[in-house]
């Protein structure tokens, strides 16, 4: 039996997405006294607003968060779920809250990671070490993995308590299995909370009465309890058993900030553990204190069951509440508005332009104004523009006040153009800011700037050099540029800003500052890993009318055009060919972790990974990674694989022992765009730590579409354990067809990969993750193949959790670096997919319309 996790499968590491360039320097901008005071005050006051938001990067502008009136986050129980001490409550943590909890009492150590995966839905994974309960000869401790889920059915209101239903250990061996329905009501402005619930299974051993569900079906009479091999969902046993237990509790939030007193009547009497002599339950009552010195830190101390003392520590974070609330980056350079064109023809079209914003009293009666031929039409952007002919007797004076009469008569008119009966335009009056903007756009549209600069090579070169300097100031790279008299097509590489719209916005500002006035269209093409991914087209005059105004980001988004970037030839775009060959390198720490081995449940290594690459032409490169362990314990793993499948992963310990140093990647790669929305990749060499061979992939993912399809085929051979250049005999052809879909709900992304895995098993992997606008991700995956559960071994099927935390969530400066980890309860051989470093979808997934929209709020920042 192998109860361990491979180093490749779970490792804490710091990685930089994108081209592999070194991450941006940590620059500390020099600040004067004023700014320092602002920043310190910002930090002090930031906590109040950190309570901010609900919902996820949606395009709905939220109103002011209830920062000052939101109640404190509820406490976590010993099972890592929101609750009292041992019992759950009906409360749930705020949306997206992630908590790591360790609790200990009477020799029982429980480690949990829990998350509010959707508003009102909590899930937890638990790894327990239960002393004196060992079932394996010579092993006193029982190690167990389990999963919980709790769903809040009713949110607390003035008259109703919150009500929740939960399943404990619903996917595991069933040692802790139990179900419950619980209600919680707050009193005294939330200082006092009462909880009461009923439970089945583990929760049914105290205060029990007959299970009323047995009246519905005999199925509810039987409950076999713990003992299966894990990995199975035991649908048939939920809410079953002869009895239902009752539990209750009270929590009092003391006047001492962060201190809560809890008492509970627990319906779990630890019958099994008591019988084994592992715990002594005298009374089913627990008392305790929990203290939260900081928002993300909570400790608890308890007197439990009349005989034991227990402790708990919970560390918690929330993607919506960055640790670093301030952003120390320098502000963008101002956008420079062009001077009025010298040959504006607007007088012929608009006449004299006046502004008479609403708020001005209507001084002219509409009927008395003598207007005729009044018409109102909607023009670009929904602007309501009226035209009217003045009375012949009015002469050629602009009857500006009559515009207010038209506004009153026709309702919400943004601009009015008055004509003389002879046809001459007298004037145009802006009544609202929208009308003012429309007038300006009309002026721009009917004017032209000199374009003779474009014919002079020297001037063009000066323009490009100025742009490069502006982009350098923001650490943006100019990949290529194509200038025409009225259009600038710029290809940018962004290795600094996590938010792509922020990079686009800064590029737009740089263009406004450097391009000659005749350049009206900015097409900004984002280049990622030498692939032109997405093109965003912006109109300069509209940007000039948006900057610094209210709703500027929303207006810029509405005016922006998002399209697939077309493939480019090497010599097609000036400046591209000169950049090659390009070298990349990097050195980063890595902390591979091995968990859940009964011999030692947690092992760590500290490694250093050196990476280097040379890119000869766009997308054509050679890349290598070498990993060297500095210190650690992973070479102590002694468990041998008992797998009956080809040992494609379960021999990972051999690789760790013998692979020092390990060439974890040495590949020749070519990635390219086959069409506007089709990408291709070919890789050959040492693809990953355990396999080498060839890999080819194609991906169809239009930028304006939330889903895509990919296909990958690989021929691979297993590498020797020394992880150098030799191979074992095992060869396998694998491949998958993949469907990707970014749902419109809560940032949830799904992926289905169906095909042949490394052990030649056939099946599919479902991956579901929740992605946040600021770069957080958490989710899980499960793989089901034609390998029977008993042949697969412990765990029944391959599954895992993953978490990604962007570095700039915790640090007050921009970075695209992130911490990322995958947590697999077990590493077996079924359902294992080849690891490829440069799969296409992760390269392009952040650049479609949906993701740009989610982050567009930072366009002007």
Partner 1 sequence: MIRRLAPLALLAMAACSNDGTVTSELVAGFLLDEIAPGILADAPEEAAPARELTRAELDQIPFATIALSVEDSPRAFVVPLADNGGYLTYMDATRRGIVMQGGAITGTLGLGIDLNGVRNAANDPVARPTPLAEWPGQVYRNYQYKLRDGKEYSISLTCIFERVARERIEIVERRFEVVRIAETCTNRARQVVNQHWVAPETGFIWKTTQWVSPQQPPLTVEIIRPYSPS
The residue among 545 and 564 lying less far from partner 1, judged by its C-beta, is 545
Can you name the residues that pair with 199 across neighbouring β-strands?
180, 245
- Asked if residue 329 binds partner 1 (CB under 8 A), the reply is yes
How far is Cα of residue 395 from the mean position of the Cα atoms in its chain?
Answer: 64
The answer to whether the beta carbons of residues 773 and 763 sit under 8 Å apart is no
Rounded to whole angstroms, how far apart are CA atoms 263 and 760? 55
Cβ at position 232, least distance to partner 1 in Å = 38
Distances, alpha carbon 2 to alpha carbons 503, 577, 616, 788, 825, in Å: 47, 52, 44, 17, 11
Taking residue 337's Cβ as centre, other Cβ atoms within 10 Å add up to 14
Nearest approach, Cβ of residue 412 and partner 1 (Å): 13
Interacting span for partner 1 (CB under 8 A) from 173-181, 306-314, 321-329, 653-661: 321-329
Q: 748 burial class (0-12, 13-18, 19+ CB within 10 angstroms)?
A: middle
Closer residue to partner 1 (CB): 42 or 579:
42
Of 4-12, 167-175, 720-728, 853-861, the segment contacting partner 1 by CB under 8 A is 853-861
Q: Which one, 348 or 452, has the nearer CB to partner 1? A: 452
Looking at 633-719, which runs of residues are DSSP E strands? 662-675, 678-686, 691-700, 707-719
Of 534-573, binders to partner 1 (CB under 8 A) are 544-545, 547-553
Among 22, 26, 38, 628, binds partner 1 (CB under 8 A): 38
Contacts of 215 (CB under 8 A, 6+ apart): none
The residue within the footprint of partner 1, chosen from 22, 26, 55, 380 (CB under 8 A), is: 55
Q: Least Å distance between CB 845 and partner 1?
A: 16
Q: Which of 164, 439, 843, 854 binds partner 1 (CB under 8 A)?
A: 854
Cα distance between residue 409 and residue 395, in whole Å: 23
Please return the burial class of 158, using the count of CB atoms within 10 Å of its CB with bins 0-12, 13-18 and 19+. exposed
The CA distance from 668 to 839, in Å, is: 14
Residue choice 25, 63, 215, 218 for contact with partner 1 (CB under 8 A): 63
Q: What is the CA radius of gyration of the chain?
A: 32
C-alpha–C-alpha distance, residues 810 and 776, integer Å: 11
State which of residues 1, 12, 14, 65 lies at the interface with partner 1 (CB under 8 A). Answer: 65
Least distance CB 501 / partner 1 (angstroms)? 10
Residue that is written with structure tokens 């939030």 in the block: 253
Q: Which of 61, 363, 422, 455 binds partner 1 (CB under 8 A)?
A: 61
Beta strands 620-632 and 600-617 are antiparallel
Q: Residue 238 phi/psi, 5° resolution?
A: -65, 135
Q: What is the largest CA-CA distance in the chain?
A: 110
Which 678-717 positions form the footprint of partner 1 (CB under 8 A)? none
Residue choice 241, 319, 613, 831 for contact with partner 1 (CB under 8 A): 319
Which of residues 14, 24, 53, 285 is near partner 1 by CB under 8 A?
Answer: 53
Q: Take residue 442 and report the two structure tokens written for it.
A: 């009309």
Q: Alpha-carbon distance 759 to 228, whole Å?
A: 25
CA angle at 298 for the pair 292 and 303, rounded to the nearest 5°: 100
CB of 435 to partner 1, least distance (A): 11
Give, as ranges, the residues between 781 and 810 that touch partner 1 (CB under 8 A). 808-809
Q: Token pair of 661, please?
A: 């140093």
Q: Does 295 bind partner 1 (CB under 8 A)?
A: no
In terms of Cβ atoms closer than 10 Å to its own Cβ (0-12, 13-18, 19+), residue 151 is: middle
Interactions with partner 1, residue window 449-478 (CB under 8 A): 466
CA dist 438 → 380, 537, 542 (Å): 8, 20, 10
Long-range contacts of 53-56 (CB under 8 A, 24+ apart): 53/320, 54/95, 54/119, 55/95, 55/746, 56/95, 56/96, 56/746, 56/747, 56/770, 56/772, 56/773, 56/854
Which of 97, 217, 240 minimizes the C-alpha distance to 170? 240
330/674 with CB nearer partner 1: 330
Instruction: Rule CB under 8 A: choose which of 328, 381, 598, 685 binds partner 1.
Output: 328
Token digits of residue 767 = 């991956």
Under rule CB under 8 A, which residues in 391-450 are in contact with partner 1?
Answer: 432-433
Based on CB atoms, which residue is closest to partner 1, 255 or 359?
Answer: 359
Could you tell me how many residues of this chain bind partner 1 (CB under 8 A)? 81
Does residue 33 bind partner 1 (CB under 8 A)? Answer: yes
Q: How far apart are CA 99 and CA 75, in angstroms?
A: 11
User: Considering the rule CB under 8 A, would residue 811 count as an interface residue with partner 1?
Assistant: no
- Closest approach, Cβ 327 to partner 1, in A, equals 6
53/451 with CB nearer partner 1: 53
- Read off the DSSP letter of residue 108: E
Q: How far is the CB of 853 from partner 1 (least distance, A)?
A: 11
Contact set for partner 1, span 501-530 (CB under 8 A): 513-514, 517
Provide the mask over 130-159, with x wherever binding to partner 1 is found by CB under 8 A and - wherever it is not: ------------------------------
| β 662-675/108-118 pair status | unpaired
Binding mask 734-773 for partner 1 (x = CB under 8 A): --------------------------------------xx
How far, CA to CA in Å, does 473 sit from each of 97, 509, 624? Answer: 36, 12, 31
Nearer to partner 1, 321 or 681 (CB): 321
Binding partner 1 (rule: CB under 8 A), the pick from 102, 229, 333, 401 is: 333
C-alpha torsion 714→718→722→725, nearest 10 = -50
Chain positions 180 to 199 lying near partner 1, rule: CB under 8 A, are none
Within 337-356, the residues that bind partner 1 by CB under 8 A are: 337-339
Near partner 1 by CB under 8 A, which window of 57-65, 608-616, 644-652, 822-830? 57-65
What mask of x and - would describe binding to partner 1 in positions 88 to 117, judged by CB under 8 A? ------------------------------
Nearest of 483, 489, 490, 488 to residue 456 by alpha carbon: 483
Given 153, 301, 330, 587, the residue binding partner 1 (CB under 8 A): 330
How far apart are alpha carbons 104 and 300 in whole angstroms?
Answer: 10
What whole-number distance in Å separates Cα of residue 861 and Cα of residue 856? 10
Q: Is 320 in the site for partner 1 (CB under 8 A)?
A: yes
Q: Which stretch, 38-46, 239-247, 406-414, 704-712, contacts partner 1 (CB under 8 A)?
A: 38-46
d(CA 574, CA 552): 33
Of residues 41 and 136, the one with the C-beta less far from partner 1? 41
Choices 46-54, 720-728, 736-744, 815-823 (CB under 8 A): range interacting with partner 1: 46-54
CB of 533 to partner 1, least distance (A): 20
Burial 218-242 (b: 16+ CB within 10 A, else e): eebeebeebeeebbbebeebbbbbe
Binding segment (CB under 8 A) for partner 1, from list 56-64, 75-83, 211-219, 749-757 = 56-64
* Smaller CB separation from partner 1, 277 or 359: 359
Only one of the segments 10-18, 34-42, 150-158, 176-184 lies at the binding site for partner 1 (rule: CB under 8 A); that segment is 34-42
Which range binds partner 1 by CB under 8 A, 31-39, 192-200, 378-386, 419-427? Answer: 31-39
Nearer residue to partner 1 within complex by CB, 498 or 839? 498
Exactly one of 1, 14, 46, 754 binds partner 1 (CB under 8 A); that residue is 46
Minimum Å distance from CB 807 to partner 1? 12
**Two structure tokens written together for 390:** 């003045």
Binding mask 262-291 for partner 1 (x = CB under 8 A): ------------------------------
């Amino acid at each position: 039996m192998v109860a361990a996790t491979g180093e490749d499968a779970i490792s804490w590491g710091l990685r930089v997405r994108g081209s592999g360039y070194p991450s941006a320097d940590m620059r500390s901008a020099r600040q004067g006294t004023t700014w320092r005071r602002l920043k310190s005050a910002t930090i002090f006051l930031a906590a109040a607003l950190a309570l901010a938001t609900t919902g996820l990067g949606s395009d709905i502008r939220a109103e002011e968060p209830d920062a000052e009136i939101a109640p404190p986050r509820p406490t976590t129980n010993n099972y890592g779920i929101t609750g009292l001490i041992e019992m759950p409550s009906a409360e749930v943590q705020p949306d997206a809250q992630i908590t790591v909890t360790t609790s200990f009492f009477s020799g029982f150590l429980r480690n949990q990671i829990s998350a509010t995966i959707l508003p009102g839905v909590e899930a937890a994974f638990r790894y327990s070490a239960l002393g004196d309960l060992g079932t394996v000869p010579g092993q006193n401790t029982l190690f167990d993995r389990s999963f919980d889920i709790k769903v809040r059915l009713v949110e607390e209101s003035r008259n109703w308590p919150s009500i929740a239903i939960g399943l404990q250990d619903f996917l595991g061996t069933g040692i802790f299995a139990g179900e419950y329905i619980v209600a919680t009501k707050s009193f005294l402005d939330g200082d006092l909370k009462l909880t009461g619930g009923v439970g089945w299974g583990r929760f049914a051993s105290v205060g029990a009465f007959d299970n009323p569900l047995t009246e519905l079906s005999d199925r509810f009479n039987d409950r076999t309890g713990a003992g299966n091999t894990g990995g199975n969902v035991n649908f048939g046993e939920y809410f079953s058993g002869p009895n239902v237990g009752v539990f209750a509790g009270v929590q009092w939030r003391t006047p001492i900030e962060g201190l809560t007193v809890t008492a509970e009547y627990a319906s779990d009497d630890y019958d099994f553990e008591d019988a084994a002599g592992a715990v002594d339950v005298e009374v089913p009552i627990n008392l305790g204190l929990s203290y939260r010195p900081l928002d993300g830190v909570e400790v608890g101390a308890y007197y439990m069951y009349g005989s034991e003392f227990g402790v708990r520590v919970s560390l918690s974070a929330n993607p919506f509440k960055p640790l670093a609330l301030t952003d120390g980056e320098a502000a963008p350079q101002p956008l420079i508005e062009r001077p009025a064109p010298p040959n504006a023809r607007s007088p012929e079209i608009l006449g004299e332009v006046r502004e008479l914003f609403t708020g001005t009293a209507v001084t002219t009666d509409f009927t008395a104004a003598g207007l005729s031929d009044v018409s109102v039409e909607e023009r670009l952007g929904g602007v309501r523009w009226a035209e009217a002919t003045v009375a012949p007797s009015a002469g050629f004076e602009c009857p500006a006040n009559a515009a207010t009469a038209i506004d009153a008569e026709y309702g919400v008119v943004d601009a009015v153009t008055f004509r003389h009966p002879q046809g001459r335009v007298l004037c145009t009056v802006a009544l609202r800011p929208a009308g003012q903007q429309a007038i300006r756009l009309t002026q721009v549209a009917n004017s032209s700037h000199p374009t003779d600069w474009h014919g002079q090579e020297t001037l063009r070169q000066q323009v490009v050099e100025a742009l490069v300097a502006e982009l350098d100031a923001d650490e943006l790279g100019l990949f290529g540029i194509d200038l025409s008299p009225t259009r600038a097509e710029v290809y940018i590489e962004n290795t600094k800003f996590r938010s792509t719209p922020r990079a686009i916005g800064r590029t737009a500002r740089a263009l406004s500052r450097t391009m000659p006035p005749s350049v009206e269209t900015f097409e900004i093409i984002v280049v990622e890993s030498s692939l032109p991914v997405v093109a965003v087209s912006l109109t300069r005059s509209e940007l000039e009318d948006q900057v610094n105004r209210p709703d500027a980001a929303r207006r810029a988004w509405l005016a922006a055009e998002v399209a697939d970037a077309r493939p480019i030839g090497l010599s097609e775009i000036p400046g591209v060919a000169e950049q090659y060959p390009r070298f990349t390198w990097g050195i980063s720490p890595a902390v591979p972790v091995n968990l859940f081995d009964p011999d030692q449940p947690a092992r760590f290594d500290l490694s250093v990974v050196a990476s280097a690459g040379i890119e000869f032409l766009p997308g054509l490169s050679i890349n290598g990674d070498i990993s060297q362990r500095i210190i650690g314990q992973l070479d102590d793993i002694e468990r041998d694989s008992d797998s009956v499948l080809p040992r494609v992963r379960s021999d990972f310990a051999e690789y760790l022992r013998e692979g020092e140093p390990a060439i974890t990647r040495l590949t020749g790669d070519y990635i390219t765009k086959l069409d506007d929305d089709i990408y291709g990749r070919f890789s050959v060499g040492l693809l990953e730590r355990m396999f080498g061979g060839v890999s080819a992939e194609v991906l169809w993912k239009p930028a304006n579409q939330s889903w895509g399809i990919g296909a990958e085929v690989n021929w691979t051979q297993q590498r020797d354990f020394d992880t150098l250049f030799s191979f074992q005999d095992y060869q396998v052809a694998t491949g998958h067809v993949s469907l990707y879909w970014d749902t419109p709900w809560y940032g949830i992304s799904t992926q289905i990969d169906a095909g042949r895995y490394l052990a030649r098993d056939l099946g599919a992997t479902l991956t579901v993750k929740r992605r946040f606008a600021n770069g957080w991700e958490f989710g899980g995956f499960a793989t089901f193949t034609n390998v029977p559960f008993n042949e697969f071994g412990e765990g029944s099927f391959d599954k895992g959790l993953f978490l990604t935390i962007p570095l700039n969530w915790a640090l007050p400066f921009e970075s695209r670096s992130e911490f990322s980890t995958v947590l697999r309860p077990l590493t077996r051989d079924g359902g294992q997919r080849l690891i490829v470093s440069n799969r296409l979808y992760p390269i392009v997934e952040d650049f479609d319309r949906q993701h740009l929209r989610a982050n567009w709020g930072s366009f002007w920042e």
